[in-house]
Amino acid sequence: MSTAGITMMQRIKDYLSLIKFSHTVFALPFALIGFALAVIYEQHSFEWHLLVKMLLCMVFARTAAMAFNRYLDRHIDARNPRTAKREIPAGVINAQSALWFVIANCVLFVITCYFINMLVFYLSFVALFVILFYSYTKRFTALCHLVLGLGLSLAPIGAYLVVTGYFNWLPLMFSGIVITWVSGFDIIYALQDESFDRSNKLHSIPAALGVKNALGVSTLLHIISAGLVIVAGFMASFNWIYWTGAGIFIALLTYQHTLVKPHDLSKVNIAFMTTNGIGSIVFAIFTILSLIF
């Protein structure tokens, strides 16, 4: 491979690292659930171009949100030993380049939405506001985790709207699952920065309530999420395949709370990435299989 090719590959890797592409496993499986609900449960025709456009919207929106978060937090990240090696504070990616990257992905997201349907196009601006606004919230509210959950919860209902062009309660129920699930595990992730956030006047549930109480809030949110999983199952009269996936998902929700203790945060990353990543993928697979069979 030529020097230019190697350089290009390295730049791609840098940008994929900037946006934490691996974290796509949180929202994308629920987007696929929303799409499947529209096509199979509501019996709309399957169209490849809509699936591709939905996936592109997911990529563009998530990329814009994550890159903007890294851009806006670059000075905060530079002061935090845990995040100082991130691409922008480390000088791997120029801040201005990152901002242009955000703008480009926002534009591509809106354009893609325009070619889906008018409702999705109009709502694309609302979606962008929510997912970009999240990056400001830690500066003034401990409820920032819920705003993150709200942003990711747009995945199932958004994918449903791509196919149908109208709202329905069932995909909204899955959005509710995402809000409480994501908010809960983001609180666990934020435990790592409790002292830093407090000393730098940043807001989070751990900084506001302390580690023990924050874990209590996270547990409550995950109990609500598990409850919504159960309610959704009864609403749609899903079969045993769904309930198997639901059982695994709820078990993994429970398991992550056994990994993190107020006096031991050494397994936060396992609880955050591994259990939730596996949980979302397994739940999506079993839910879609339940719809098919």
pLDDT in tens, 238-267: 999 999 999 999 999 999 999 999 999 899
pLDDT at residue 71 greater than cutoff 70: yes
Residue 25 — very low, low, confident or very high, per pLDDT cuts 50/70/90? confident
Percentage, residues of the chain above pLDDT 70: 98
Residue 4 — very low, low, confident or very high, per pLDDT cuts 50/70/90? low
Among candidate residues 170, 276, 157, the one with its CA nearest the CA of residue 222: 276
pLDDT at residue 1 greater than cutoff 80: no
Average pLDDT over residues 71-81: 96
97-133: pLDDT as tens digits: 999 999 999 999 999 999 999 999 999 999 999 999 9
35-45: pLDDT as tens digits: 999 999 999 99
Burial class (CB in 10 A: 0-12, 13-18, 19+), 156: buried
Class of CATH domain 24-292: mainly alpha
Look at 10-19, 74-83, 144-153, 192-201 and tell me which has the smallest mean pLDDT: 10-19
Assign 264 to helix, strand or coil: strand
- Where in the chain are the domains? 24-292
Residue type, 110: V
Sign of CA dihedral 66, 68, 71, 76: negative
As a whole number, the mean pLDDT across the chain is 95
- The Cβ-side half-sphere exposure at 59, using a 13 Å CA radius, reads 10
Instruction: Taking each helix axis as running N to C, give the angle between helix 169-190 and helix 28-36, from 0 to 180 degrees, rounded to the nearest 10.
Output: 170
Helical (H) or strand (E) element with 184: helix 169-190
Predicted model pTM: 0.95
Look at 24-33, 140-149, 199-208, 228-237 and tell me which has the smallest mean pLDDT: 24-33
